[in-house]
């Protein structure tokens, strides 16, 4: 029987100054973050779209086991309240597919 394990991460990968000495000194903030935690929430997707290439670059910069939790855009969740938002969700899925 498989055992489900929770993932622990944060919203965003900015490393507070007080914690920077405990992570590797080289690499992007995301690479440094991924060396300590296995998952992160991408908050910025709630406020603005990102190009597919951006998601692809982020994915390439972390280990294979690393996971992203991507926030659905507020245009779909709050403005349209998930009604008649197939166009927004299709665009979003095309972006995060990278």
Query: Which pLDDT does position 14 carry in this prediction?
Result: 93
Q: Decide if 45 is inside a domain.
A: yes
Number of domains in the chain: 1
Range of the domain at 56: 28-96
Query: Which pLDDT does position 2 carry in this prediction?
Result: 58
What residues pair up with 69 in beta bridges, in sequence order?
A: 41
Query: Among 36, 32, 49, which Cα is nearest to 93's?
Result: 49
The model's pTM = 0.86
- Rounded-to-integer distance, Cα 33 and Cα 23, Å: 7
Query: Which pLDDT does position 4 carry in this prediction?
Result: 84
Query: Which pLDDT does position 66 carry in this prediction?
Result: 96
Q: Phi first, then psi: what are they for 79, rounded to 5°?
A: -80, -45
Q: Decide if 44 is inside a domain.
A: yes
Q: Which two tokens stand for residue 79?
A: 């403005």
Report helix, strand or coil for 46: helix
Report helix, strand or coil for 23: coil
- Could you say which DSSP state residue 85 is in? -
Query: Which pLDDT does position 95 carry in this prediction?
Result: 96
What residues pair up with 10 in beta bridges, in sequence order?
A: 40
Which stretches of the chain drop beneath a pLDDT of 50?
none
Q: Which two tokens stand for residue 76?
A: 């779909």
Q: Decide if 18 is inside a domain.
A: no
């Amino acid at each position: 029987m498989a055992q489900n394990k929770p993932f622990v991460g944060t919203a965003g990968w900015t490393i507070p100054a007080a914690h920077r000495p405990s992570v590797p000194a080289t690499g992007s903030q995301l690479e440094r973050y991924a060396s300590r935690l296995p998952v992160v929430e991408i908050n910025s997707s709630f406020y603005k779209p990102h190009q597919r290439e951006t998601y692809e670059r982020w994915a390439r910069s972390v280990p294979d086991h690393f996971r992203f939790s991507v926030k659905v855009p507020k245009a779909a969740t709050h403005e349209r309240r998930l009604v008649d938002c197939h166009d927004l969700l299709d665009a979003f899925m095309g972006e995060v597919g990278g």
